[in-house]
Structure 1
Amino acid sequence: MTVKPVLLWSDWLIFLLVLTLILFFINLGKNPVARKRWRSVFASRVGMASFLVIVFYVLIALLDSMHFRYPLDKLEGSDEQHYSQEVNSLLDVVLEDLRGHDEKTYSSPFAIHSFSKENRTLENGQVVRDYPRLEYAGSHLRKHETVGSDVFERSMNALVVGLGIALVLALLIQLLRRLTGKQASAWLPWKTVYLTLGGLILVTVWILQVGGYYHILGTNKVGQDVLFQAIKAVRTGVLIGTLATLITLPIAVILGIAAGYFKGLIDDVVQYIYTTLSSIPGILLIAASVLLIDVYIETHAEQFRLSAERADFQFLALCFILGMTSWTGLCRLLRAETLKVSQLDYVQAARAFGVSHSRIIGKHILPNVTHIVLIALVLDFSGFVLAEAVLSYIGVGVDPSMASWGNMINEARAELSREPVVWWSVSAAFVMMFVLVLAANLFADRVRDAFDPRTVN
């Protein structure tokens, strides 16, 4: 079966970002000072573990960014091949068992019966109100089997398979270390590496093994698997945090350093711009911009052949809007730090000797504010992930057809007021978002310790 590849703009961007990060770490070898500082980041157990968790999220986002369309059956008498309007990804293929087992409506985690009662007609014609059996979850169970024993047995099988995969991976790493020389990587916390990778592998294998037979985190209102929706939302969280941050940084760095270094009229203009922008309520500004984008999409519907292209355009527009409205805080910090650094003796001496402004900024100013930029890079990433959840909650976030933690929380508003409470949708979104944001913040702490000039020996 031949599929048709689909490349969205966000797919190109995430591929470019991953390639840029790979080239960045490859080029670290050319800068001994930067290499030493980054080595201290990865030599930390917390830094290494959080980095691996972030990489795991990025790998999920990469799998979900490889899109394609399935071919449709050819019409009789026609050789032209048509393709489905639905856009799928490699992640959909990997999680096919979770994706394809939709029920009628809510079901709780590991349940085999529906969450709500329905009228059911017995063989003798009597109508009773009972919890109907789910169509997929637990359908393999025999009469004498219970959910608990079956889940335990499959969990043990997943544990054995996961440990086997983790052991093979550890042996391959050890072999690679011997070939390259153990001393070259002896500074890495290898126990932490093996434990973190082993934990991630075990969780992945367990989800794939058990998720095909039960809804691990239950189903939502329309019967979709909640765990599948939470995993699909990883791409949205990773991309919106990364793209919005990369839009914010150049604006903040250029304007902040320019204002603090040149002072005078440039400083006044920059301060006027960010003071004016800060005086506008952020939520209202973002909401108004998103609504303008919605109007553009509605009036230019012919530009979007697929619903995925429409959702992707709205998503990228939201990233741009978040980035353009969130640079003022970092700009203030950089301006203040540049004002301080520009008064240091060696900077004043460079000016007295006639060194060009661009060289002073590149050699003296920028290296002394890099630690602020790096810390802001990771903290802004966390902030934008949380901002998407808030914006989707109030209805001005990503397209409703796009999986995101914000959309999951938004849909769970009515569920939390039910009796009994449907808690698993909001809990799944919270846990997935919490792990990513926590890993990013812990990694930012290690980066701060490594690049802060006051703590570097």
Structure 2
Amino acid sequence: MSDALPPPPGTWARLRKNPVAMGAMLILAVIVFAAIFGPLLYHVDPHATSRAQYQPPGHAHYFGTDNNGRDSLARILEGARISLLVGFSGAFISLFVGTTYGLVSGYLGGRADNIMMRLVEILYALPRLIILILFTFVFDTHFKIWLAAHGYLSMVGYSKIIILILALGLIEWLTMARIVRGQVLSLKNLQFVTAARALGQSHARIIFRHLLPNIAGIVIVYLTLTIPAVILDESFLSFLGLGVQAPQASWGSLLSDGAQVINPVHSYWWLLLYPALVMSITLLSLNFLGDALRDALDPRARR
């Protein structure tokens, strides 16, 4: 007995024939490589101030400098690290929570499913931005105290980032849970699940051994769409000054700094253009990749 329905044949071949998908994967690979190794290869301290304030892009500073004379390229590379870390980590937390919740809700069905889905609808009705702001303000100070009390002094400066990852991950799982639950409802009465029950397999084994492999494609596709959503949320909070705090930088905080120096008298355009360009390319590549994966994993592609 097969544990999962066979995937569409030639999934990778169809994905490879899609030039948009391959281009998006290449761009994402370059951006991730730059985020990981860029600060190591580009030997400029992103926090080092100088008298070279508001210098336009040139040989000395490829992306120019900001109001404190800091190199903008080094700041964008540091921002890429933080924004991608928050985006990927928050999305994977959302993936774990939403997939598990949706699997259990759809498999149990009946009253348990109704109660679990009503809870999701209640959480949907709450204003997400206010929850994120309250979460970061309430837990950030307590988390810093806890880190200092347990000797993790080196982690105190990263407490805001950790809180952002947890907050965004625990907010974005709602849609994932609804998608997974709907798929499980359509699969749990099929023959391979009925046969597994007849063989006396446990509920946990049926859920994670038989049902989960069948929805893996849909989960992966939605994961690629959750990552840009988390990055946007983090950037919006940082843009408002509620996310990553100076001297650390994310793409959102860099956009906020750039927007403050755009005025009719002096337009330091590079401080806004380059962070917006890098962030836009990353989000577009993730969305294009998600669309391509959805088409490649479509069961109708068997034809």
Q: Which one of the candidate residues 33, 37, 41 is aligned to 1:63?
A: 37
Provide the rounded CA distance (Å) in 1 between the counterparts of 2:128 and 2:172: 8
SS in 1 for 2:262: helix
Instruction: Please give the per-residue CA displacement for 1:414-443, whole angstroms capped at 9, x wherever unaligned.
Output: 212352322221211111111211221222
Asked if residue 38 in structure 1 is aligned to residue 19 in structure 2, the reply is no
Other-structure match for 2:126: 280
Q: Is the 8 A contact 1:217 1:227 kept in 2?
A: yes
Task: State the shift of 1:299 in Å.
Answer: 4.2
C-alpha separation between the residues in 1 aligned to 2:205 and 2:215?
A: 15
Alpha-carbon distance change, 419 to 304 in structure 1, aligned in 2, over 3 angstroms: farther
Bigger mean CA offset, 220-229 vs 44-53: 44-53
Q: Secondary structure at the match of 1:416?
A: coil
Structure 1 residues 222 and 98 mapped into 2: Cα distance closer, same or farther (>3 Å)? same
Matched, 1:252 2:252: no
CA displacement 1:294-346 (0-9 Å, x = unmatched): 3225645564544xx32322212210111011101111111122112224455
Aligned residue in 2 for 1:96: 43
Amino acid at match of 1:252: G
Q: In 2, Cα distance between the equivalents of 1:431 and 1:380?
A: 20
Going from structure 1 to structure 2, the CA distance change for 1:351 and 1:297 (only over 3 Å counts) comes to closer
> CA 1:285–1:454 in structure 2 vs 1: closer, same or farther (change >3 Å)?
same
| Distance in 1, Cα, partners of 2:200 & 2:72 | 63
Whether 1:237 aligns to 2:71 is no
One-letter identity of the residue aligned with 1:226: S
**Amino acid in the other structure paired with 1:427:** L
Amino acid at match of 1:50: A
Identify which of structures 1 and 2 has the higher relative contact order when contacts are C-alpha pairs closer than 8 Å and 6+ apart.
Answer: 2
Shift of 1:356: 4.3
Show the counterpart of 2:57.
109
**CA-to-partner distance for each residue in 1:374-397, whole Å, 9 max, x for gaps?**
111111111111111101011221
Contact 1:106 1:223 in 2 (8 A): yes
Equivalent of residue 324 in structure 1, options 153, 158, 170: 170
Three-state SS of the structure 1 residue aligned to 2:114 is: helix
Q: What residue in structure 1 maps to residue 230 of structure 2?
A: 384
Whole-Å Cα distance in 2 between the matches of residues 293 and 104 of structure 1?
38
Residue 353 to residue 96, structure 1, CA distance change in 2 (3 Å):
closer
Distance 2:143 2:116 in 1: 33
How big is the shift at 1:453?
A: 2.3
| Whole-angstrom CA distance in 2 between matches of 1:323 and 1:97 | 32
Query: CA–CA distance in 1 between the matches of 2:165 and 2:144?
Result: 19
- Aligned partner of 1:437: which letter? L
Q: How many residues align?
A: 295
Matches within 5 A, 1:211-360: 213-296=59-142, 299=145, 301=148, 303=151, 305-306=153-154, 309-348=155-194, 350-351=196-197, 356-360=202-206
Deviation, 1:59, is 2.1
Q: Could you tell me which runs of 5 or more consecutive residues in structure 1 were left unpaired when the two chains were aligned.
A: 1-31, 65-90, 111-212
More off after superposition, 379-388 vs 339-348: 339-348
State the alpha-carbon separation in 2 of the partners of residues 355 and 456 from structure 1.
Answer: 31
Q: How does 1:86-165 map to 2 (within 5 A)?
A: 91=39, 93-96=40-43, 102-110=50-58
Q: Is the 2:15–2:293 contact (alpha carbons within 8 Å) kept by the matching residues of 1?
A: yes
CA distance in 2, matches of 1:285, 1:97: 37
Query: CA 1:34–1:368 in 2, change beyond 3 Å: closer, same or farther?
Result: same
Mapped contact 1:230–1:405 kept (Cα < 8 A):
yes
SS in structure 1 at match of 2:21: helix
Q: CA deviation at 1:38?
A: 3.5
1:52 counterpart residue number: 26
Native 8 Å contact 1:368 1:453 kept in 2: no
RMSD (Å) for aligned C-alpha atoms: 2.7
Paired AA for residue 290 in structure 1: T
Which residue does the alignment assign to 2:256?
A: 410
* Matched AA of 1:438: L
- Distance change in 2, residues 1:344/1:400 (3 Å): same
Report if the CA contact (8 A) 1:218-1:226 is conserved. Answer: yes
Q: Aligned partner of 1:51: which letter?
A: M
Question: Aligned partners of 1:57 and 1:413: how far apart in 2?
Answer: 23
TM-score, normalising length from structure 2?
0.85
What do the CA deviations read for 1:343-375 (whole angstroms, capped 9, x no partner)?
Answer: 445544554565543444345422332222011
CA distance in 1, matches of 2:241, 2:211: 42
Unpaired stretches in structure 2, ≥5 consecutive residues? 1-5
Normalising by structure 1, what TM-score? 0.58
Identity %: 27
Q: Structure 1 residues 322-331 or 32-41, which shifts more?
A: 32-41
